[in-house]
Each structure stands twice: as structure tokens, then as C-alpha cells.
Amino acid sequence: MKKQLEAFVSPQTCFSIENWWLEEELSLSPAVYARVGDFEYSITDSWPARGGGGNLSSSTRVNEYGLTVSYNVAPFSLTMKGKAVQCVFNISTHGGQVFYTSTTPHGTVLPIVIRYNDILGGVMLRVKAPSSASHAESKKQPTKIHDVYYVSDESYEVRGVTPINAVTSKIIPDTEAFSFLTNVNMYFPRPIYQWTLSGVVQIDKSLLDAYGVWGGSYSLTGDRENPYPDGISLLTIKDGVSGEATLEFNHDTLNKTVTITVLSHTSKVCDIRDLAEVGAPVFPNTICFAQ
């Protein structure tokens, strides 16, 4: 069978397994790492009957903060075998990214988008029995916590839209917060502040516990009445592995505006978007930081 490109993602991107159609356990070769906590992993060589989900990777690595994170070292082939079916998924590398392909007719690779088709939060490896009927691609409601939305293995979608309003600089009123959309852990060398229902919370990192996250209200100060310092402030974002971005916040106190500008980035995606175009009108100043 001719190989077809199915997904092109960061080595940090987890994959999951969807096995809803088989009444039998699948053996996995080689064994894979399953994330069981923020920085905790177990090794598994099987997948349950009629089971789906998981945050899986071929290996792990220690990031620059000394924390163990998922990391897919390519090339490798993953074989899922049961009595009724055998699927082979190949993962190769190109330009620092990894390609997922299926080389057998009963395996399908589904890229899981985070609202936009250029930002992927994960890869779903779907296994179907030879007699399975065709099923529609999943599109479920994400989990919401403190105005932040999480795409998990229980709430994912495989289709997104093409961004039309992405910019690298934007002027906003100095009373408005900014938001994030990301598919990696984010670390902030300087503290930022999240606006929650219980008050303003200082944060220095945001750990990804799902396939992707967007939303939230953030500022550079802990004062909701004055969210930004006067003049120019810099914000650096790191993913702890290979991605970094520097943004400038220029607060014009006379005109009561803030100009947010992406000065540089090594991440695959770094820009500013208005999420109204994907049905999230309360997040007009979203910083996209993605691999």
C-alpha cells in the first residue's frame, strides 16, 4: 500500500490510540510511554478492547527545567496487533518535525487541531476492524476551567479552519487582557498574571495537560485596573525544549493603548489572532505559541 502523509507535528506532540471498534486487546510493538501525571510516565505494551485516548510517546526526555516530558524520536514503526487486525504506523522525521503515516488499510491517522488547521494538539491513531462501518470524525466540546479551554482525549476535533486574521503586531486598549493558544508547555522567565473568578493569580508557567489549550485572560501586572506597566515591557515564552518567542508590549499611556509585537520566535507558529473567527469572540487578543 502506498504511504500517504497524514500528520506533520512536533516531536513534543503526543499521540493517542482509538480502538472503539475491536472487542479485543491490542499488543503494541514496541512498548510506548503513557503519561500518568504532569511529569510521570509508565510503559505499556498493550491497549484495551474498545478503549481510546491516552497521552502516548515513543520516548521521553528531560527539558531545560529538569522535568521529564514526552518526546517522539523518529524514525520508528508502531505495530498494533490483535486476532482480527494488524495495523502498522510509521513515524519519520523531516526538518525537526515528525510525520505520521499508516501503511495498513485498517489504520487511520487523525490530526487533532486546536481550532486552526495549522496548529495541531495531537495525533489520534485509529484502529478499525475489517468489518467496521465508516464513522464521522469526532468534534466534541472541550473542557473549560477558569475561562481556559482544554482539548482532551474525550473532547477533540480533527478539522480546523485556515487563519485569516493572524498578525505579528496589534494595538489594543490598555484595559484589555491577552490570551494564549498553545500545544506545548509554556514557561515565563518573568511572572505574568491570570484573571480568574477568584482573583488575579501570578504564574510563571502553564503546563499542558491535554492536547491543546486556548483562552484565559492574562496581563503583565497584578492590577486589573492597570494591566500593563508604562512604556516598553518584554515577555519571553519558552517551551523548555526547542521553542522560544519574545514579544514586546508598548504601553502608550497618552493614547491608552498597548501595542503587542512579536519580535522574534523559534517556535513553528507565533502570532496574534482574534478567535472570533473560530467562534470564541471573548478572546480577541490571542497569542499563538505552537510547535
pLDDT for 3 equals 44
* Domain boundaries, given as residue ranges, for the chain: 7-131, 169-290
Q: How far apart are the C-alpha atoms of 19 and 268, rounded to whole Å?
A: 31
From 275, 269, 153, select the one nearest 211 (Cα to Cα): 153
List the chain pLDDT tens, one digit each, 291 residues: 344 458 899 999 999 999 988 889 999 999 999 999 888 999 999 999 988 889 999 999 999 999 999 999 989 999 999 988 899 999 998 888 999 999 888 899 999 999 999 999 999 999 986 665 545 556 677 888 878 998 887 777 778 899 999 999 999 999 999 999 999 999 999 999 999 988 999 999 999 888 999 999 999 999 999 999 999 999 999 999 999 999 999 999 999 999 999 999 999 999 999 999 999 999 999 999 999
pLDDT for 96 equals 86
> What are the b/e assignments for 18-32, b being 16+ CB within 10 Å?
bbebbeebbebeeeb
What's the whole-model pTM score? 0.91
Structure-block grid coordinates of residue 58: 515513543
For the stretch 34-45, pLDDT in tens is 999 888 999 999
Q: How far apart are the C-alpha atoms of 34 and 36, rounded to whole Å?
A: 6
pLDDT for 131 equals 62
Q: Which CATH number fits domain 7-131: 1.10.3470, 1.10.357, 2.60.270, 2.40.128?
A: 2.60.270
